Structure 1
Amino acid sequence: MRARRTDPGRRERLVETVLDLIARDGTAGATYRAVAEAADVPMGSMTYHFPTRDDMLFAAFSHLADTQHARFDRMMAELPAGEDPREAVVRIIVTHGTDYGRDLVLSAELYALAARDPRYRALTQDWMERSRASLARHFPSELAPMVDALIEGLVLHGQLGTEPFDEDRVRTAVYRLVGDLR
């Protein structure tokens, strides 16, 4: 009897491989064959874990949303006692605005899918709602969606623009939007 090969982390490895290929080649480059080859798994493993290519892409983008939100939530949850949450938002924007490369490309690919497909739009909406809940720990709930949009917009401008990233301009925008928190 032949020993059965086990690879308990295969699905997670495949998801990461899908994201790597999307970051490099766009969603068009994330085919079953390309993923199987890059992950060094048999082609049958792809259909076992992801019955359709769309299931594969959705799993990868769901993982991206979960991972990015967990990082964001941790940053908002771990504010030191007494720290102004506006400064945490500035720090998040500045950090993402200057070092977001791969995740920006992946997010842009997700946004393009969400613009065309309601299933991905629901995924991005869920991600936004979770981000807003993280922000609502420190800001009024009616302000959380605006802070979330400001973060997203300033990060995109920081990554896609050619001007040097201006932390003072970010701080001014955050403080003007949020106002006094007392």
Structure 2
Amino acid sequence: MVYVEASVRRQQMVTAARRVLSRDGVARTSVRAVAAEAGVPLGTMQYVFPSKELLLRAVIEDVVDEIAAVLEDAAELEYGLEHAIRRGITSFWSRLVVEQKDLQVMQYELTTYALRAPGQESLARRQYERYASVVAEWCQQAAHNAGETCAVPFGRLGRLVVATIDGLVLQHVSDPNVARSREDLDAAIDMLVALADVRRGARAGA
């Protein structure tokens, strides 16, 4: 058998779990099913992930890492806060909503699981804290780069951006309509830009 580093093997298992979860949902996903999907012996799977709860925790963390990375990469920070908001949200939407509906459905299911599973509740909280933190950081940096001010604290702006996108994503995956969803997204972006009330002048504060 070809040797595979533990970190690589673990990621292969998490990737396989994501495929099973996307296809079958949380309730029907088992460690055995993921082992079969990953092409590894059940004993190996259970050695790395002794329980379904630990496997799902790893999947949640992996999904959060992916989404946070896209959020970090989405905005262009050299052209001011309004540009960063518009570019960041539309880029995220095209990359992780329009093209990956199954990822969004799986994320909502995993969030609900985390909220209901004893001892896992903090996973749901941490994922939204991380998304909001990423957005707040690039909003603040974009404003700083352009010498702009924002009418609301960046932490609040980040939370509201995430909450707005979250609601639109849930609506879109429940009733996909690309044209309508994009019109709603554009309207939501206009509202967020208006809330920020970007003005040039003194450097933006925290």
What is the TM-score of this pair, normalised by structure 1? Answer: 0.85
2:160 is the alignment partner of 1:146: yes
Alpha carbons 1:27, 1:109 under 8 Å: kept: yes
Call closer, same or farther: CA 1:29–1:174 in 2, change over 3 Å.
same
1:175 correspondence with 2:174:
no
After TM superposition, list the pairs within 5 Å mapping 1:11-50 onto structure 2.
Answer: 11-50=10-49
Q: CA deviation at 1:156?
A: 1.8
CA RMSD between the two structures: 2.1
Alpha-carbon deviation of 1:162? 4.5
Whether the 8 Å CA contact 2:60–2:110 is kept in 1: the answer is yes
Matched, 1:159 2:158: no
Deviation at 1:15, TM superposition (A): 0.7
The CA deviation at 1:35 is 1.3
Provide the rounded CA distance (Å) in 2 between the counterparts of 1:59 and 1:112.
Answer: 15
- Which residue matches 2:70? 71
Tell me, in whole angstroms, the C-alpha distance in 2 between the residues paired with 1:25 and 1:90: 29
Distance 2:179 2:35 in 1: 39
Identify if the C-alpha distance between structure 1 residues 163 and 47 changes in structure 2 by more than 3 Å, giving closer, same or farther.
closer
Q: What CA distance in whole angstroms lies between the structure 1 residues aligned with 2:184 and 2:56?
A: 36
Letter in 2 for 1:44: G
Letter in 2 for 1:15: V
Structure-2 residue corresponding to 1:108 = 108
Which whole-Å CA distance do the structure 2 matches of 1:34 and 1:128 have between them?
A: 29
CA distance in 2, matches of 1:146, 1:135: 10
Secondary structure of the structure 2 residue equivalent to 1:41: coil
Counterpart amino acid of 1:156? L
Whole-angstrom CA distance in 2 between matches of 1:146 and 1:61 = 22
The secondary structure found in structure 2 opposite 1:141 is helix
Residues 69-113 of structure 1: CA distance to partner in whole angstroms, max 9, x if unpaired?
11212213xx05215123124414641442231211211221220
Q: Alignment identity in percent?
A: 26
Change (3 A) 1:45 1:173: same
What is residue 81 of structure 1 aligned with on the other side? 78
- Poorly superposed stretches of 4+, deviation over 6 Å: none
- Greater CA deviation, 17-26 or 165-174? 165-174
Distance in 2 separating the partners of 1:105 and 1:54:
19
Contact kept, 8 Å, 2:71 with 2:88, in 1: the verdict is: no
Give me the whole-angstrom Cα distance separating, in 2, the residues matched to 1:34 and 1:141.
41
Once the two structures are TM-superposed, the CA of residue 172 in structure 1 deviates from its matched residue by: 2.0
Q: Which runs of 5+ in 1 are unaligned?
A: none
